[in-house]
Amino acid sequence: MYPLLFRHVLSRLDPEFAHHAGMAVVRVLGVPPFSWVTRALCAPASDLQVRALGLTFPSPFGVAAGFDKNAVGVRGLAALGFGHVEVGTITAIPQEGNPKPRLFRLVPDRAVINRMGFNNAGADAAARRLRRLRRRAPHAVIGVNIGKSRVVDVENATADYVTSAIVLAPLADYLAVNVSSPNTPGLRGLQAVETLAPLLRAVKTAAGDTPLLVKIAPDLPDDEIAAIARLAVVEGLDGIIAHNTTISRDGLRTDPAIVEAAGAGGLSGAPLRERSLEVLAVVKAAVPDDFCVIAVGGVETAEDVQKRLDAGATLVQGYTGFLYRGPLWARQINRGLARR
């Protein structure tokens, strides 16, 4: 039913409007009595539980950052069967993000281009929501992804990240440092090891006992990816998220004129499938076996998730597949994993 709804209705709507409409439904599904029914239909099998970062994840499959930017849909997403929800990216200073339109579908590729620009209500607003969530959804596993505020110069990025970490780390099950979005000017330059090391050191101190991970870009050369992975280990981080969206447009089936009209931004979805596995292999070769690695990119089916788990990923995240698979996506993934 959902493929027909997408083809004939949702695909005709503005992508950002459709996302907000979908999030409204997700929020409703997180509230009793709807959440009771949703959870009964979608709860992962108990044997899918994963122990990582000192936490128990009900399923290895979770929601990547970017879907729930302001921590408003966590209860609904958890009821739908996602093993964890990574909210954000959240910045210390509230910001509207880039001008619209800023979200574009590439339907033939089952992909999306976005240049949202970290649109969010800021760390203080997120903290208020997270406090309420801790009372209303105490068992949901919530990661918090933090990024640089756009108005802050790159030279002052460390202090900006630390501000967010101080506010949000006490309320997060884990904290993820996003230095890899292509949609904030200068951000990806922070991935240089000599710049990244003091930033991670400062954020780790601010995060205290909250597990800390770093999220990297797939567009880096493999040797730089390996260097960042080794740095994460040396600096005492708890894991690495591999990876963010790509600026590459190679191999797309969508009409080139449509791709060009969409313009700049990060590409996500099925075209990242192979690069995701390549980056995962590079990271795994550079870190200890028990180091937490969260694989992201090109994930749509249970087979995609299983391939990443077989390749050594501790957990797997998805986002774009939600658009093409619909609200029962996590249920489909979890049931497929259980059969395997």
Domain boundary assignment for the chain: 2-339
- Which token pair is 245? 């969206």
Q: What is the pLDDT of residue 183?
A: 67
As averages over each run of 10 residues, the pLDDT of the chain (340 residues) reads 67 83 91 94 95 97 96 96 96 95 95 94 97 88 96 91 97 94 73 85 97 94 93 96 93 95 94 96 96 96 97 97 92 93
Question: Can you tell me the distance from the alpha carbon of 8 to that of 13, in angstroms, rounded to the nearest whole number?
Answer: 10
The CA distances from residue 220 to 212, 227, 242, in Å, are 21, 11, 11
Q: Return the H-helix or E-strand segment holding 111.
A: strand 111-114
Both tokens of 54, joined, read 């000192």
- Long-range contacts (CB closer than 8 Å, 24 or more residues apart) made by 1-10: 2/325, 2/326, 2/327, 2/328, 3/326, 5/326, 6/323, 6/324, 6/326
Pairwise CA distance, residues 274 & 297, whole Å: 9
**How many CB atoms neighbour CB 206 within 10 A?**
20
Measured in degrees and rounded to the nearest 5, phi and psi for residue 287 equal: -125, 160
CA dihedral 202, 203, 208, 211 (to 10 degrees): -140
Please identify which of the residues 149, 180, 181, 276 carries the catalytic annotation.
181
Residue 66 and residue 240: Cα distance in Å, rounded? 17
DSSP, collapsed to helix, strand or coil, labels residue 44 as coil
pLDDT at 154: 85
The answer to whether 181 is a known catalytic residue is: yes
We find that the CATH architecture of domain 2-339 is Alpha-Beta Barrel (3.20)
* Count of beta carbons in the 10 Å neighbourhood of residue 300: 20
> Cβ neighbours of residue 99 under 8 Å, at least 6 residues apart?
none
Here the tokens at position 47 are: 């044997």
What is the model's pLDDT at position 79? Answer: 96
Q: Which residues pair with 59 in a beta bridge?
A: none
pTM, two decimals, is 0.93
